[in-house]
A = this chain, B = another copy of it.
Amino acid sequence: MTQQFEQVGQAFVQHYYTVFDQDRRQLHPLYQGDSMLTFEGQPFLGTEKIVEKLVNLSFQKIAHKVITCDCQPTAANGILVFVAGDLMVDDSPHPMKFSQVFNLKPLPTGSYYVYNDMFRLNLG
């Protein structure tokens, strides 16, 4: 039986990567002013700095393929999501492995935003 936090976490991640792969400038609404991103060890705080970082990544085309997506409920009705997957970058035929952690926080509207975000390529 899939529990609600799993449905929400998986749907959120699906939506996040769809937006990211189509036009990552549109990720704004999925972050807030207190959102944190650690991208390959580099910290970014708040929607503007986070989206600026993501928009300025140096590829032209990107596709995220989710292979595993683990979800757990966490403090204050948050949902912790741990993704592992493949990244298809530009026209390279070789996917790169990545892992990413999202801690989703509920908004008064009933939807969620990314409070914590940590991204790593799995090199080696």
Contact = CB atoms under 8 A, between A and B. Distances in A.
Interface stretch (A12-20, A23-31, A46-54, A74-82): A74-82
**For the complex formed by this chain, how many copies does it contain in all?**
2
A99 B115 contact: no
Nearest to A120: B84
Interface in A89-124: 97, 99, 101, 103, 105, 115-116, 118, 120, 122, 124
A82 B82 CA distance: 10
A80 B103 contact: yes
A41 B82 CA distance: 10
A70 interface: yes
The 8 closest A-B pairs by CB, nearest first: A75-B76, A75-B75, A82-B118, A99-B99, A38-B70, A70-B118, A122-B122, A72-B116
Interface of A: 36, 38, 41, 43, 68, 70-76, 78, 80, 82, 84, 97, 99, 101, 103, 105, 115-116, 118, 120, 122, 124
